[in-house]
Structure 1
Amino acid sequence: MTDSAHDFGYDSAHDPDAAPDGLTTPQSRELSVRPGASSAAYIDYEFAKWTGRTVVKAGPQVTSDEAAEIVADLRDAAAEAEEPVAETSRLRAPEGAPPPLVVDRAGWISANVDSFKAMIDPVIDKLLAKRKVPESPTALAIGGKVTGAEMGGLLAYLSSKILGQYDLAPGGTPQLLLVAPNVVEVERKLEVDPRDFRRWVAMHEETHRVQFTAVPWLREHLIARSQSLAVDLAPTPEEIGKRLDQLARNLPEVMSSGEGLGQLFATPEQKARIAELTAVMSLLEGHADVVMDDVGPSIIPTVDEIRRKFNARRSSAVGADRLLRKLLGIEAKMRQYRDGAIFVRAVTDELGRDGFNAVWSSPDTLPKPTEILDPSAWVRRVHG
């Protein structure tokens, strides 16, 4: 969120690397990755951050005083969400779990570049193992800039769409991020009560923080499955030409399905694994949506109005924005909220909150792809 005088930075209240002016520089939040990681030779991550910061859209105009008030209110909203979410979900984040950070779009980009770096390293290792002729330093430098620019541009686009995110931070410290300019932009577009909207968003994002901290195995499970799938999907040099041919022939199918480019190149076995991950993401997003609404009007008086207007916004993309959403699979993500919420409500209605919470027992109790659409099948398998 920017104006001529002020730009939001990382919330420095809980960040030991905060810069002297109270903002955290993107470089100060660099994540540690495993020794010997080689992706930095092929992707210029600092250039990705620079590109993202350079091309990202400006947020809504605010004064420095307004920005400070908004950040403070978002911090308050995050703190106020902890107890209602714990009571409603019957899950509680352990003591010492990192608190949320309020960030701007550039800060969100920087955090996600760091996380991508740790996630991509195994993919680069696979590509290097298959490469027969080493690249020259000049080619590496140019290629690194190109891929860095591509990553930065993509994240710049996404950075204006995200209200909050639980950053799994492979190889680093996971943390909840609240993207201040996007929250303000949406609350203004929807013409909803700002205080209620910020607390409604905080309820959803706090639920994600609880999911990944109260369920200790969940983060590593998702990271491991995602990294393994990314490695398998990465093309070898010999496969690149075939992939381009697939893209030319099947792009209309991708556009009509909204599943994203990843589905285009996947084998049947890989598509099954994608479906498994999608089922888990549907659970997480649907659960967060249900909790944020179930907190109720006693805490968020205008919750029904917010939900009605927000749902209408989710389906309102047109033109180039809708095209990008289809290519990136964002259309499919919208379905995750709907399908996951239906699953959570159906199971909770039948078994109560404690019966539903058996879903967090182990990876084996997570819903399978068919069960997200058939909650009774999950109940039969897990509860007998």
Structure 2
Amino acid sequence: MADFPFGFGKPSGDDDPDRPGGGSGGSNPNDPFGFGAAGGDPNNPFGALFGQMNQADLGAAFQQLGKLLSYEGGPVNWDLARDIARQTVAQQGDASIGAVERSGVEEAVRLAELWLDEATSLPSGVSTTAAWSRSEWIEATLPQWRALVEPLATRVVAAMGEMMPDEMQSMAGPLLGMMRGMGGAMFGAQVGQALGALAGEVVGSTDVGLPIGPAGKAALLPANLTAFGEGLSLPQEEVRLYLALREAAHQRLFVHVPWLRQHLFGAVEAYARGIKVDMSRLEEAAGRIDPSNPEALQEAFSQGLFEPEETPEQKTALSRLETALALVEGWVDAVVHSAAAPRLPSAGALRETLRRRRATGGPAEQTFATLVGLELRPRRLRDAARLWASLADARGVDGRDAVWQHPDLLPTAADLDDPDGFVHHAELDLSGLDAELDADLDSLEAKNEAKDEPKADDGERGANGDDDKPKGGDGDKGPAA
């Protein structure tokens, strides 16, 4: 788990006046919210408001602060997050997408779909294709990032109020309101920083293993795709096609496994419900804060004032989410390799490059470590890919993909440690289940046949002898009432 999720981390101590957003320079026209340059310290978004602005800008700074503190859109200031994310990609460079790039993406996805038809029983999940700029990626995925992050931020804010005595809440009401407002800005600044950095790295809408884009839309980012292919000594067309295969495979899984989206996001919500705030630490820190000193508030935030405690419930939820993400990524890895290996000379090299990208801290790991506190382990991805490949060998493509019919059929974290054991164990369980079902059906048929036999009347029962008589009764009298 990340030490300081949501930007409540240690200050970087960067006082370099030459750093964008640092020093004591004046306001930046590209930074209308006064948070310093988007590439600055994400743990110190208030630096430009306090101690980094000229006196002439002081009034504007407090106006901006008032706007931030009066935000009523929830525990995360999403307006601020969007602005900071877009500022970040603007500094990186964000060229518009041309017709040639769009045509290249469309053709790659079309060919990828044909190859995948032979590698999986799941039908195509792509209804539209898109070539996105970095800003377009931010706008398209922001609603799902909101669904992912907001339960966590909401729980952090709620935990503060739940653990504070009523009398203390009434006394500290104005201070808590201010802190909630600043917390929303802190959350927004951190999310904006993370999404802006992520937009400069992702190559499609499914890089983080979650359905964060519109359903059924296969999207690639040509600028990032080109950057990814640099240094690989491979044709750009092959790189684009391989990444299109991964994008289209993700879409098949997310579109045709209807419970998967809720399964993944439900694990995040379960993690959020387990968040508890160390009240003793909060009380100790609150006793040192001077509400009239904004710098003291800033320092308290940057030193992890609201760092959540890790609980058994959170560990369970994170384990569940980590396993589910590994299974998604492992399935895509196995299916894409099956489709590409016979046709694409560079398939093996691209597969290993993407695996190493994850192992060295790619977009998924970094973003989840920042926003959720989850770090995907590369070992899980490799183990999951091996498990899906083993299932395909043992049961065929249809049998492998049938595991996605229900979440109870999915392998567990323990199964990832022994993929071959899961495959053979599942086969034994299924054969035993078939025998039990056959026995149950035979028993049911016997009961139905017994019910269908005509019932004898009283006289017939008497004529059949004593064995047919009801106990304690007479053949002429019939059954006892």
Residues 40/117 of structure 1: CA separation in 2 closer, same or farther (3 Å cut): farther
Distance (whole Å) between structure 2 residues aligned to residue 169 and residue 314 of structure 1: 18
Amino acid at match of 1:238: M
- The answer (yes or no) to whether the contact 2:270–2:317 under 8 Å persists in 1 is no
Q: Equivalent residue for 1:35?
A: none
CA shift, 1:116, in A, is 2.6
1:111 aligns with one of 140, 149, 155: 140
2:110 aligns with one of 79, 82, 97: 79
Amino acid at match of 1:168: P
TM-score relative to the length of structure 2: 0.57
Aligned to 2:229, the other structure's residue is in SS state helix
TM-score relative to the length of structure 1: 0.70
Q: Equivalent residue for 1:230?
A: 272
Structure 2: runs of 5 or more not aligned? 1-70, 286-307, 430-481
CA shift, 1:381, in A, is 4.9
Q: Equivalent residue for 2:473?
A: none
Mapped pair 1:360 → 2:404: yes
Amino acid at match of 2:233: E
RMSD: 3.7
Distance (whole Å) between structure 2 residues aligned to residue 197 and residue 48 of structure 1: 32
Alignment of 1:134-149 (within 5 A): 134=173, 140-149=180-189
Aligned to 2:379, the other structure's residue is in SS state helix
Residues 346/239 of structure 1: CA separation in 2 closer, same or farther (3 Å cut): farther
Distance (whole Å) between structure 2 residues aligned to residue 239 and residue 72 of structure 1: 59
- The answer (yes or no) to whether the contact 1:44–1:145 under 8 Å persists in 2 is yes
Aligned to 1:41, the other structure's residue is in SS state coil
Alignment of 1:28-47 (within 5 A): 40-47=73-80
- The answer (yes or no) to whether the contact 2:380–2:416 under 8 Å persists in 1 is no
For each residue in 1:19-48, what CA deviation from the matched residue of structure 2 results, as whole angstroms up to 9, or x when unmatched?
A: xxxxxxxxxxxxxxxxxxx98233211210
Distance (whole Å) between structure 2 residues aligned to residue 128 and residue 316 of structure 1: 35
Residues 174/47 of structure 1: CA separation in 2 closer, same or farther (3 Å cut): farther
- The answer (yes or no) to whether the contact 1:78–1:203 under 8 Å persists in 2 is yes
Q: Equivalent residue for 1:128?
A: 158
- The answer (yes or no) to whether the contact 1:48–1:113 under 8 Å persists in 2 is no
Q: Equivalent residue for 1:213?
A: 255
- Larger Cα Rg: Structure 1 or Structure 2? 2
Aligned to 1:101, the other structure's residue is in SS state strand
- The answer (yes or no) to whether the contact 1:212–1:218 under 8 Å persists in 2 is yes
Residues 265/199 of structure 1: CA separation in 2 closer, same or farther (3 Å cut): farther
Q: Equivalent residue for 1:164?
A: 204
- The answer (yes or no) to whether the contact 2:131–2:220 under 8 Å persists in 1 is yes
For each residue in 1:333-358, what CA deviation from the matched residue of structure 2 results, as whole angstroms up to 9, or x when unmatched?
A: 43343222121122222222222223
For each residue in 1:264-302, what CA deviation from the matched residue of structure 2 results, as whole angstroms up to 9, or x when unmatched?
A: 943334323322221111111011111222113554343
Residues 229/312 of structure 1: CA separation in 2 closer, same or farther (3 Å cut): closer
Aligned to 2:384, the other structure's residue is in SS state helix
Distance (whole Å) between structure 1 residues aligned to residue 360 and residue 321 of structure 2: 26
Aligned to 2:220, the other structure's residue is in SS state strand
1:343 aligns with one of 380, 387, 392: 387
For each residue in 1:124-173, what CA deviation from the matched residue of structure 2 results, as whole angstroms up to 9, or x when unmatched?
A: 55433752645577655544333211110112222233222336359x85
Amino acid at match of 2:257: V
Larger proportion of helix = 1
Distance (whole Å) between structure 1 residues aligned to residue 144 and residue 321 of structure 2: 18
108-117 vs 362-371, greater mean Cα deviation: 108-117
CA shift, 1:313, in A, is 4.9
Residues 363/310 of structure 1: CA separation in 2 closer, same or farther (3 Å cut): closer
- The answer (yes or no) to whether the contact 2:334–2:388 under 8 Å persists in 1 is yes
Distance (whole Å) between structure 2 residues aligned to residue 39 and residue 232 of structure 1: 25
Q: Equivalent residue for 2:350?
A: 306
